[in-house]
Amino acid sequence: MTERIDGEAVAADIRESLTGSIEALREEGVEPGLATVLMSDDPASETYVSMKQRDCKEVGIDGLHVEIDTDAPPAELYDTIEDLNNDPHVHGILVQMPLVDGIDERRVLRSIDPMKDVDGFHPENVGRLVAGNDRYRPCTPHGVQKLLEAYDIETEGADAVVVGRSNIVGKPLANLLFRKADDGNATVTVCHSRTEALAEKTRTADILVAAAGIPELIDAGMVAEGATVIDVGVNRVDVPNRRSEDSRAESAEADTERGYELVGDVAYEDVSEIAGAITPVPGGVGPMTRAMLLYNTVKAAGLQNDIDVTLP
Ligand SMILES: NC(=O)c1ccc[n+]([C@@H]2O[C@H](COP(=O)([O-])OP(=O)(O)OC[C@H]3O[C@@H](n4cnc5c(N)ncnc54)[C@H](OP(=O)(O)O)[C@@H]3O)[C@@H](O)[C@H]2O)c1
């Protein structure tokens, strides 16, 4: 029987535990605060930021949102980040990517105080992660690790294949999976757009992570019997063009209204027949990414105030 990995449920447990950690911080006089910065007209980015703010409210993190006009000079963004770096009530800063054209995203990431870099993308935090001495693990890879842990999926000695080598998902996740640690110790193959014979590689995986951003790239023929399949992909597909008529009928009405549906990088219905465990989209990795942002914010508030917080 294929196990459906329920990211909503695991994320809810993490949020629940975090409310306790937040309460403990409050008792020490610290109100954890997260600032989100948006400089983009992209509707998906607007949605992501508002969901992050909603999550903060739900667990009791102080949410501050700064929106910068897309016509504003880059200096306005850097000044905003500087102000947030210096604001003691803000423990985490998240600049929603992608930014408008013409802004140097690497420079933006470098300008965030690494102690407040709850995305974990500042070069200092990337370096620490690679060196096995992480401060903030990037939210999506960390969320994947927490899902594996919640479902007792052993990484030690496993053959893991990660499809995608981006800085935000593939690279950090590969690093976390192969590093010498209880939640690592896998043998990792990283695939990308120039990989030849992709299916041959993915079929070797005990744990297959799809993070390519290509709707239903991974089909049943690319998966070994009993493998754990983690689908990081979130792709908007126009409803009239969708590839598979699946049974998730409850979301179909909303999809039609929006004009698109969200599809993963894995052909869920077919791969479910083969996999040992699989994450759905939506409801798999997405909620975990959001929960791990809250986790990093709580951790950041503790670190910046020398308080040893218990984290889930
Ligand atoms: N659920 C969540 O919380 C969450 C969070 C972040 C991202 N996502 C989703 O995850 C997906 C990946 O995001 P990302 O930011 O990592 O994307 P990205 O920066 O576009 O990277 C995609 C990676 O996939 C590789 N790739 C593209 N086509 C491929 C193919 N046909 N075969 C093998 N590899 C291929 C690319 O190779 P090259 O390096 O050669 O170009 C690249 O390394 C997207 O759908 C995104 O929306 C979800």
**Secondary structure, 3-state, 216-276:** CCECHHHCCCCCEEEECCCEEEEHHHCCCCCCCHHHHHHHHHHCEEEECCECHHHHHCCCC
214 in contact with ligand 1, CB cutoff 6 A: yes
**96 classed as catalytic:** yes
For ligand 1, whether the C-beta of 59 sits within 6 Å is: no
Atom 3, ligand 1: residue with shortest CA distance: 286
Q: Which two tokens stand for residue 134?
A: 């992480």
Residue of 165, 169, 171 to test ligand 1 pocket, by largest number of atoms within 8 Å of CB: 169
Residue 234 Cβ < 6 Å to ligand 1: yes
**Do the beta carbons of residue 37 and residue 81 sit within 8 Å?**
yes
Angle formed at CA 215 by CA 50 and CA 224, multiple of 5 degrees: 120
For the chain (312 residues), the mean pLDDT of every run of 10, in chain order, is 96 98 98 98 94 97 98 97 98 97 96 98 98 97 98 98 98 98 98 98 99 98 98 91 52 67 96 98 98 98 97 97
Distance CA 268, CA 285 (A): 14
Active site residue 52: yes
Rounded-to-integer distance, Cα 296 and Cα 291, Å = 9
Catalytic residue among 119, 134, 206, 231: 119
Residue 222 structure tokens? 């690319």
Q: What is the pLDDT of residue 1?
A: 84
Q: Is the CB of 11 under 6 A from ligand 1?
A: no
Amino acid at 249: A
Indicate whether residue 173 lines ligand 1 (CB < 6 A). Answer: no
Q: Which atom of ligand 1 is nearest to the CA of 265?
A: 45
Per-residue tokens: 248: 């998730």
CB-facing half-sphere around the CA of 298: CA atoms within 13 A: 30
Q: State in Å: Cα 212 to ligand 1 middle.
A: 3
DSSP calls for the chain? -PEEP-HHHHHHHHHHHHHHHHHHHHHTT---EEEEEE----HHHHHHHHHHHHHHHHHTPEEEEEE--TTS-HHHHHHHHHHHHH-TT--EEEEPSSPPTT--HHHHHHHS-GGG-TT--SHHHHHHHHTT--SS--HHHHHHHHHHHHTT---TT-EEEEE---TTTHHHHHHHHHSSSTT---EEEEE-TT-SSHHHHHTT-SEEEE-S--TT-B-GGGS-TT-EEEE---EEEEGGG-S---S-GGGHHHHHHHTEEEE-SB-HHHHHTT-SEE--SSSSHHHHHHHHHHHHHHHHHHHHTT------
Nearest CA to ligand 1 atom 31: 193
User: For residue 194, which amino acid is it?
Assistant: R
Distance 169 CA to ligand 1 centre (A): 8
What is the whole-number distance in angstroms between the Cα of residue 218 and the centre of ligand 1?
Answer: 13
**286 within ligand 1 shell (Cβ under 6 A):** yes
Positive or negative torsion for Cα 8, 175, 232, 187: negative
Is 119 marked active-site? yes
Cα of 83 vs centre of ligand 1, distance in Å, is 32
For residue 26 the two structure tokens come to 């409050």
281 CA to centre of ligand 1 in angstroms: 15
What pLDDT does residue 260 have?
A: 87
38: three-class secondary structure by DSSP: strand
The candidate with the shortest Cα–Cα distance to 162, out of 216, 209, 217, is: 209
Residues in Cβ contact with 242 at an 8 Å cutoff, skipping those fewer than 6 apart = 261, 263
307 lines ligand 1 (CB under 6 A): no
Residue of minimum CA distance from atom 14 in ligand 1: 166
213 lines ligand 1 (CB under 6 A): yes
Please, are residues 178 and 199 in contact by the beta-carbon 8 Å criterion? Answer: no
